[in-house]
């Protein structure tokens, strides 16, 4: 596989990981706001793990002399989270 194709595929992986980070943090914020602290922390930890994946992918892209595109592949899907009374 050539360098350009490798960088393109790595950037696609970065985009997917970044979308996952946004999704996990979205749920973290809302769950924390509604008093579900332990579950909110789980989502935050998962987002941090995804960030570490992004870092590894970015290091590889830069090693290949590419440019890291930090653009998520999709927007955050908002789910109706019922308000806790």
Domain boundaries, the chain: 3-63
Average pLDDT over the chain reads 91
Q: For residue 10, is it left (φ>0), alpha (ψ between -120 and 50) or beta? A: alpha
CATH number among 1.20.1260.10, 1.10.8.60, 3.90.650.10, 3.10.20.600, domain 3-63 = 1.20.1260.10
Tell me what pLDDT residue 75 has.
72
Please give the full DSSP string across 2-59, using - where no structure is assigned. Answer: -HHHHHHHHHHHHHHHHHHHHHHHHHHHHHHHTT-HHHHHHHHHHHHHHHHHHHHHHH
Tell me what pLDDT residue 74 has.
79
Q: How far apart are CA 47 and CA 26, in angstroms?
A: 10
Tell me what pLDDT residue 10 has.
97
- The 10s digit of each residue's pLDDT in 17-58 is 999 999 999 999 999 999 999 999 999 999 999 999 999 999
Phi, psi torsion values for 9, nearest 5 degrees:
-65, -40
Percent of the chain surpassing pLDDT 70: 88
């Amino acid at each position: 596989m050539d360098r350009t194709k490798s960088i393109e595929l790595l950037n696609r992986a970065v985009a997917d990981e970044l979308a996952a980070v946004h999704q996990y943090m979205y749920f973290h914020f809302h769950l924390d706001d509604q008093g579900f602290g332990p579950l909110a922390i789980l989502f935050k930890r998962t987002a941090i793990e995804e960030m570490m994946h992004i870092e590894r992918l970015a290091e590889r892209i830069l090693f290949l002399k590419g440019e890291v595109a930090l653009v998520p592949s999709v927007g955050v899907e908002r789910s109706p989270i019922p308000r806790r009374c």
